[in-house]
Structure 1
Amino acid sequence: MCLFYHLVDVLCFNAYILFTSVDPSWNSGKNFKRRLFLQQLGRALIAPATANRSHFPRGPFAASLVLQAQGQVHQEEGHEKQGEEEEKEEKPQPGLSRKRKACLLCPNPKRVRSQCIKCRGYACRKNLALVCLQ
């Protein structure tokens, strides 16, 4: 495993060297260019996989990122707010509820807060991926 991560690190470093030789003015004023390159590379590598996901992750934030990658979340009023931070309101997060209800699939109903994003059914972590298959 250590050898694999070392190979990935060397490959990423070589890609960074090639990228900066092609575009030397990329983020020229910053001291942490390699970190920015690795973040951008990682996002580019996982974008196709998140767009083709068949089930949603457990966490509400991760689920909203997958929905955005799949293009299912529409911007308010059809346009983006550029340069502005959205105000944080006290909205319930998708996938979490303040109420606790019994899991739909457990034989001994556990009281849980997590909900399926599609059907809004309550499910424990073990059964969350199976709720919409009913």
Structure 2
Amino acid sequence: MHTGLGGYLVLGGVTVAALLLFAAAMVARRLLAPRAPGLTKQSTYESGVDPVGGGWAQTHVRYLAYAFLYVVFAVDAAYLFPWALVLRDQRVGVASLVEMGIFISVILVGLLHFARRRALSWDDDD
């Protein structure tokens, strides 16, 4: 008599085991970790810079552009490497090549847009 719930029972058991392991790790950390509270440990620490002044600081939009470019090319690489491995298979066909060509074209249009707007130069002659 197979009810079909066996998979759910396994999933539930693994979930309960994961939660118990997580709780055990948190309890062990709480019991074993050294505690030495003090003024120095409770102060704000950010990249080795002492917190002086207000909390507001403006950042140049150029950093956002570089972060955006990094994300675009990281996603591009995440798609290109698996695709290049699958491309050897004859069943993939020309459609996959055309799709990847369109994908790379869109990425290149964005890069050309950044270059045309001179967003990739570090000069402050904007």
Q: Above 0.5 in TM-score?
A: no
Higher relative contact order (CA 8 A, sep 6+): 2
Task: Specify the TM-score bucket, using the shorter chain as the normaliser.
Answer: under 0.3
Structure number with bigger Rg: 2
**TM-score normalized by structure 2?**
0.20
**Structure 1 or 2: more strand by fraction:** 1
